[in-house]
């Protein structure tokens, strides 16, 4: 989407997540369904979307804000010594999980466009003395990462927020080493999203209106240079999405998905 309201969408997203980082908002959804202040609710949401109790253990307070729609760690198959970039790193939750897997010989770079989130993540890293993670302020369409620097790009429910997804995949291809891979958990569209939902700026910030058709995402990734493109939708997510957005009849329209591809 490169229309007139792209700037408004970006500003709304930044404002929403800034409030979440400061503890003044409920996250990506007004209902608090994907970003709650209640630790029990946050933990329950994390378990529902695919995290284990072991992964949730020993995390700094506030790192997991219940903002995801899946678990990229489950598909990334991270190895010791790898360099990982997390698109839209938020409070650092997925970065800290990745840091455990790549070990002291590996590195993790978290990128987020919201200054308040970057500050929060840095405080969290300091609290647990996580030395192999760095957080940088930047946009996922213009990553503050060198060419051919990363082995793996991960992300959790962030690419759908972008108004220029083709550019996100071009940037992902640029920063990955030859043979590098992407492992994303995101929201995708199974059919055309109704126009009234598509034009709703708040629903875009809530990870709904910006979801792209599966076949278009596949085409974008291939055009960027990726091979072995795979988008696997989660049929079980329909019930969760209906609970999160009652009255919108999103079942059969959007779904959470695991997205993978490799750089030739």
Inside any domain, residue 10: yes
Work out the average pLDDT over 184-210: 92
Domains in the chain, number:
1
Average pLDDT estimate for 156-170: 96
1 found inside a domain: no
Percentage of the chain surpassing pLDDT 70? 88
Considering the domain boundaries, does residue 29 fall inside one?
yes
Instruction: Work out the number of other CB atoms within 10 angstroms of the CB of residue 174.
Output: 17
Query: φ and ψ at 81, to 5 degrees?
Result: 90, -5
Give the range of the structural domain holding residue 108, as residue numbers without chain letter.
Answer: 6-263
Cα(105)–Cα(179) distance, rounded to whole angstroms?
19
pLDDT score of 39? 54
Q: What is the mean pLDDT of residues 189-205?
A: 91
The pLDDT value given to residue 57: 73
Averaged pLDDT score across all residues of the chain = 87
Task: Kindly state whether residue 165 falls inside one of the protein's structural domains.
Answer: yes
Question: Given pLDDT bands bounded at 50, 70 and 90, which one contains residue 40?
Answer: low
Q: Is the pLDDT of residue 75 over 80?
A: yes
Average pLDDT over residues 4-13: 84
Is residue 155 a part of any domain in this protein? yes
64 assigned to some structural domain = yes
Q: Does the pLDDT value for residue 31 go beyond 60?
A: no
What pLDDT is attached to residue 67? 67
Residue 17: inside a domain, yes or no?
A: yes
Average pLDDT over residues 48-76: 76
Q: How confident is the model at residue 2 (pLDDT cuts 50, 70, 90)?
A: very low
194: in domain: yes
Q: What one-character DSSP code corresponds to residue 33? A: T
**What pLDDT score was predicted for residue 96?**
95
pLDDT bin (cut points 50, 70, 90) of residue 174 is very high
* Range of weakest confidence among 6-10, 19-23, 64-68, 204-208: 64-68
Q: What is the DSSP string of 167-210?
A: HHHHHHHHHEEEEEEEEEEEEEESSPPPHHHHT-HHHHHTTSTT
The domain that contains 104 carries what CATH number?
A: 3.40.50.150
């Amino acid at each position: 989407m490169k229309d007139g309201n792209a700037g408004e969408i970006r500003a709304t997203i930044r404002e929403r997540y800034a409030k979440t980082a400061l503890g003044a908002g409920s996250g990506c959804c007004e209902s608090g369904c994907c970003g709650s202040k209640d630790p029990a609710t946050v933990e329950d949401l994390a378990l529902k979307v695919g995290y284990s109790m072991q992964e949730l253990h020993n995390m700094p307070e506030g790192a997991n804000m219940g903002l995801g729609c899946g678990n990229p760690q489950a598909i990334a198959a991270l190895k010791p010594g790898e360099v990982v970039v997390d698109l839209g790193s938020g409070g650092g939750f997925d970065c800290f999980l990745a840091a455990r897997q790549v070990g002291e010989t590996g590195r993790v770079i978290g990128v987020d466009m919201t200054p308040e989130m970057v500050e929060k993540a840095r405080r969290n890293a300091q609290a647990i003395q996580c030395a192999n993670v760095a957080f940088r302020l930047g946009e996922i369409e213009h990553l503050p990462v060198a060419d051919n620097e990363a082995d793996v790009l991960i992300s959790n429910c962030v690419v759908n927020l972008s108004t220029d997804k083709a550019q996100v995949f071009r940037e992902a291809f640029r920063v990955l080493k030859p043979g590098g891979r992407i492992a994303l958990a995101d929201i995708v569209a199974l059919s055309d999203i109704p126009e009234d939902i598509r034009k709703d700026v708040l629903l875009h910030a809530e990870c709904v209106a910006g979801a792209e058709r599966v076949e278009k995402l596949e085409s974008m990734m291939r055009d960027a240079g990726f091979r072995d493109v795979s988008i696997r939708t989660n049929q079980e997510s329909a019930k969760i999405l209906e609970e999160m957005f009652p009255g919108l009849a999103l079942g059969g329209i959007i779904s959470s998905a695991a997205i993978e591809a490799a750089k030739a």
